[in-house]
Amino acid sequence: MDALRDALDHVRAELRSGASPLLTAAALLDAVAVSLHAQFAPALRPVINATGIIIHTNLGRAPLSEAAQAAMIGVAAGYSTLEFDLATGKRGSRLTHPERALTALTGAEAALVVNNNAAAVLLLLTALTKDREVIISRGQLVEIGGGFRIPDVMAQSGARLVEVGTTNKTRLSDYERAITPATAALLRAHASNFKQIGFVESAPLAELAGLAHERGLLLLDDLGSGALLDTAVYGLEHEPTVGESLAVGADLVAFSGDKLLGGPQAGIIVGKAPLIAALKQHPLARAVRADKLTIAALVATLDHYRKGEAISQIPIWQMIAAPLDQLRATAESWAHTLGGEVIAGESMVGGGSLPGATLPTALLALTPPNADAFAAQLRAADPPVIARIADGRVLFDPRTVFATQGDDLLRAVRSAL
């Protein structure tokens, strides 16, 4: 009704201004249909990611495995055991579902899942270090995407930031000298989205653990991405794993669910049982708790790791592990249909994981008269295709395009051509 009234108002306004609008019913209804389509077209919609950036923050980070999608739908459509214990018929905890898988996978005593890693870090600082001092290296006072700044999060938590060392070098002795009776913890934050090269030095986590425990302090590790598998196997740099942090003595480790884990947006904290218990009790934990869809998808994702099938089932690991000759074959088949040339290029892991690390790939390169206009046309396709532009060329990386999206991609590019 609103759309019909708007269309009629528009016609009346045109008549009043002396114009002669199309007054057939068909023309009016067409205008109404166009306006309704525009109003109900979801702004949040699937796109084809041809950028080759695997964990693309702007495109929704990690795509979920089929099992994770099915698990979400399973609990979304009806009622579930979210907080219900079938054995006793009494109230259960939503936290038990992912905790079992997380402790089994990481060797941690206990685990807690919250809404995202920013919330995880805020929670652990607030619950364990409020009004006390937390020592961190100047080289780790990072800002990651979306305005998450370590110093700001610390201020918000009520912890007092004590920065030590310099931008490029921080030694164990720097931490040691800064410890006072007011110190609660040493914090290590992963640099995530930048890399220091040259004369760089930082204290190894194992040494920080030794110092912290000798002085009765906590060692908290904001690991950021939180890999469970070794990225070095795929020709990437070694990204510190959750298990390694725990093994060298971190008391609590916080990481994201939708970076290198390849699951839903979530913040995961693993570590010592009494500390996790304290976090669970804190009012902030309730404010930042994860919802049932997240928990369902996370458990399904973690189970891929437990069954040893992460590489074959989790999309981001399939993409990381995709063999170059397979990527080249796809790029060549695209070139066969669309023209253009296949060139060597690089895919990126993205998402604040492994800054600067790339994987060799094969790209389809097209050279339209106007690359920006061409890319805009691709974004207007349904589904939209997001490509990379470099040196006046539009580049398509098969690594991040699902096999099921190939036809849509070809159709969108052909129509833009």
Ligand X SMILES: *Cc1c(COP(=O)(O)O)cnc(C)c1O
Is the CA virtual torsion 369, 371, 375, 376 positive or negative? negative
Please report, as a single letter, which amino acid is at residue 30: D
State in angstroms the smallest separation of the CB of 277 from ligand X: 23
Q: Which is nearer to ligand X, 144 or 285 (CB)?
A: 144
Measure the CA–CA gap between 254 and 223, rounded to whole angstroms: 6
State in angstroms the smallest separation of the CB of 225 from ligand X: 6
State in angstroms the smallest separation of the CB of 304 from ligand X: 19
Q: Which is nearer to ligand X, 145 or 392 (CB)?
A: 145
- Which residue, judged by CB position, is nearest to ligand X in the bound state? 224
User: In the complex, which residues of this chain contact ligand X (CB under 6 A)?
Assistant: 116-118, 121, 144, 148, 189-190, 192, 222, 224-225, 256, 267, 352
State in angstroms the smallest separation of the CB of 287 from ligand X: 15
Q: Which is nearer to ligand X, 315 or 368 (CB)?
A: 315
Helix boundaries (H) for 24-171: 25-40, 66-76, 96-106, 117-129, 150-157
Q: Which is nearer to ligand X, 144 or 416 (CB)?
A: 144
List CB contacts of 163: < 8 A, sequence separation 6 or more.
Answer: 135, 136, 137, 138, 141
Q: Report the largest interatomic distance among the alpha carbons of the chain, rounded to a whole angstrom.
A: 87
Measure the CA–CA gap between 223 and 244, rounded to whole angstroms: 11
State in angstroms the smallest separation of the CB of 21 from ligand X: 50
Helix boundaries (H) for 248-403: 273-281, 283-287, 292-306, 310-313, 315-321, 324-338, 371-379
Q: Which is nearer to ligand X, 257 or 340 (CB)?
A: 257
Which of 250, 258, 230, 221 lies closest to 352 in space, CA to CA?
Answer: 258
State in angstroms the smallest separation of the CB of 167 from ligand X: 17
State in angstroms the smallest separation of the CB of 62 from ligand X: 11
Beta bridge partners, 267, equal 114, 256
389: left (phi over 0), alpha (psi -120 to 50) or beta: beta
The answer to whether 254 and 222 are in contact (CB under 8 A) is: yes
Q: Which is nearer to ligand X, 146 or 369 (CB)?
A: 146
Q: Which is nearer to ligand X, 148 or 234 (CB)?
A: 148
The answer to whether 26 and 230 are in contact (CB under 8 A) is: no
